[in-house]
A and B are shown apart, each in its own frame.
Chain A
Amino acid sequence: MAAPTVPRARRTFSIPLSWPLLLPLVLLLACVVGYPLLRTVYLSFTDASLNALGTRPAWVGAQNYLTALTNPDFHATLWHSTYFSVASVGLELVLGVLVALLLNQPFRGRTAARALLILPWAIPTIVNATMWRWIYNPEYGALNALLTQVGLTGTYRSWLGEPGLALNMVVLADVWKNYPLVALITLAALQSVPAEIHEAAALDGAGAWTRFWKLTLPAIAGPLSVAVVLRTIEAFKVFDIIYVMTRGGPADTTKTASFTVYQEAYTYLQAGSGAAYANVMVLVSALLIAAYLWLSRRQGQA
């Protein structure tokens, strides 16, 4: 008898109910993200050292930031992070789209080929890094052996030992693992373009190139731009693959911003200036994250 009124009563009750549901999330994130982030901001204005955990650090104002922003070594590491991000994501974009276009063609074994995309993606980053480090090994590596035995080159190179080369080789290892994600997203977007539209355009005399620019690209541009920003955020904070493959060397040419923070704080124990470096990274990441949120919201509305 009272049935019709029950849902109404429950629904008015349900608005405050939604906050208790959120409480565990908010509490946990406040502890492991909110508090640490605020504390890093505080530390960045002090001379805190990991040597003296118990003592109260002295306030130094913007000193750490001034030092960071005028330090050419830090400029270099920011540049390495930027180069790594642009090169990795750029290659991932090109390769991802090409492979997606290929795997969108009907051919025998296509399902198996698509399944292959998931293999590099599933291999842990550290395993990927050690695998490529072994392939790049200057004496016994497969890359040198292959190039010499095929006859492309006569001399062995130290792929990760040459300053001009090392970062590019790390980029390639990173691209191998991560372009499948771009390919998978593109493939999903391609499936939303009906083949009939292509056929109609082809009948009207549009060439393959025109069809790509006028039909395919608009269909994949949205999801692709979201994927690219997501990958850029990931690439900008790169640490693990660098740590295993080069440890920032040779001659600091592969030292990225994350690696610098790690060294400053844990090798030199300078928590204060390490925090300042970290916050500069956060500001750059924040811009990228804002771009991501904006793009994905537009996607959601479309």
Chain B
Amino acid sequence: MRRSRLQSLLVYLGALLFAASVLLPVAWMLLSSVMPSTQLTALPLRWWPGTFDWSRYAALLTLEPNTPGQTFLYALRNSAVVALTTTAIALAAGIPAAYALSRFPAGKGGLLATVIATYMLPPVALVLPLYQLLAHLHLLNTVWGLILVYCSLILPFTTWLLKSNFDAVPVEIEESGLIDGLSRTGTMTRLVVPLALPGVTTSAIFAVLLAWDEFFYGLLFTNGLSAKTLPVAIADFTAGRATDYGLIMAAGALAALPPVLIAVALQRGLLAGLTSGGVKG
């Protein structure tokens, strides 16, 4: 449809406003992370750093004992280990389950609904017994404890997403595989999973992002270098007495970097996952 000059102007104005509203807060986080401390607390506020101060990034990327850097790097490692291991477990248990839910749905409608409901349950409803369970198993403040607990969140989500991806693979392909002598597990691993690979990858990435973002269980079940995750470490920085906002913003920028890079690199697949698989039962 043809637009009038005024309508075009409004569209561009709106787009500009939208872009600014998305970019400015993030830009301010990045600028604050490289502003000299004196400028951060100077009034009136100056919007551009007089000199670029990269020292916070250097301070965060050091393993020297009892420094914010040590906390940060350990937390980075813990987050990576927890996110990747949980995702691996969620795929190992989720792929066969999603396959069964997709191919043999008879009598399992209730199970799928339960799995989806599980994902949506408020974590506070599970946290007390999980705390006792981890204490009992001596898994408090360990990455393995977190991995076990994160399964409650990530396994239902990946199963749900995988199921809707497997649904899109035509059954006829499997039937020809069965005629050619493949077993049911064979058709799953050799035909359905490879054909649904983009969806499987998307599910894995969502799982990693979900684990990377988790805060509540991380806060309650960890307290030291050995298992504290990135979100918990950043929240701790904020609660510190001498609050160096430049340092917190640098930590935030670094913690946001992996998910943002993943999201930007895999935009197409993620958008498809967000808009279709992610919201359908």
Contacts and interface: CB of A to CB of B under 8 A. Distances in A.
Interface of A: 3-4, 6-7, 10-11, 13-15, 17-19, 21-22, 24-26, 28-29, 31-33, 35-37, 39-40, 43, 48, 50, 53, 99, 102-103, 105, 107, 109-110, 113, 115-127, 130-135, 137, 139-140, 142, 145, 148-149, 176, 181, 184-185, 187-188, 195, 198-199, 202, 223, 226-227, 230, 233, 236-237, 239-240, 243-244, 257-258, 261-262, 265-266, 271, 274-275, 277-279, 281-282, 285-286, 288-289, 292-293, 296-297, 299-300
Contacts of A258: 122-124, 216
Given A21-B100, A124-B256, A300-B281, A237 B18 contact: no
B173 interface: no
Interface stretch (B55-63, B65-73, B193-201, B245-253): B245-253
Given A116-B18, A116-B23, A274-B128, 7 more contacts: A29-B115, A102-B15, A113-B18, A131-B249, A145-B45, A262-B127, A271-B128
A1 B93 CA distance: 37
B29 A37 contact: no
Contacts of B113: 293
B271 A184 contact: yes
B103 interface: yes
Contacts of B238: 130, 133, 244
B11 A102 contact: yes
Contact of B25 (A18, A131, A140): A131
B111 A36 contact: no
Contacts, number: 304
A240 B216 contact: yes
Of the listed residues A103, A120, A124, A134, the one surrounded by the most CB atoms of chain B closer than 10 A to its CB is A124
Contacts of A140: 40-41, 43, 45, 245
Nearest to A277: B124
Contacts of B99: 21
A273 B279 CA distance: 34
B121 A37 contact: yes
Contacts of A26: 97, 111
A121 B185 CA distance: 36
A289 B8 CA distance: 42
Contact of B215 (A137, A239, A265): A239
9 contacts: A4-B179, A7-B175, A116-B23, A130-B235, A135-B25, A244-B238, A266-B220, A274-B128, A285-B121
B256 A185 contact: no
Contact of A237 (B14, B103, B122): B122
A98 to B, nearest CB: 8
A130 B238 CA distance: 7
Nearest to B219: A243
A109 B45 CA distance: 32
Nearest to A81: B122
Given A118-B271, A293-B113, A300-B281, A239 B249 contact: no
Contacts of A29: 115, 118, 151-152, 155-156
Contacts of A135: 25, 28
B190 interface: no
B204 interface: no
B178 A11 contact: yes
A282 B151 CA distance: 19
Given A124-B213, A130-B252, A233 B120 contact: yes
A300 B280 contact: yes
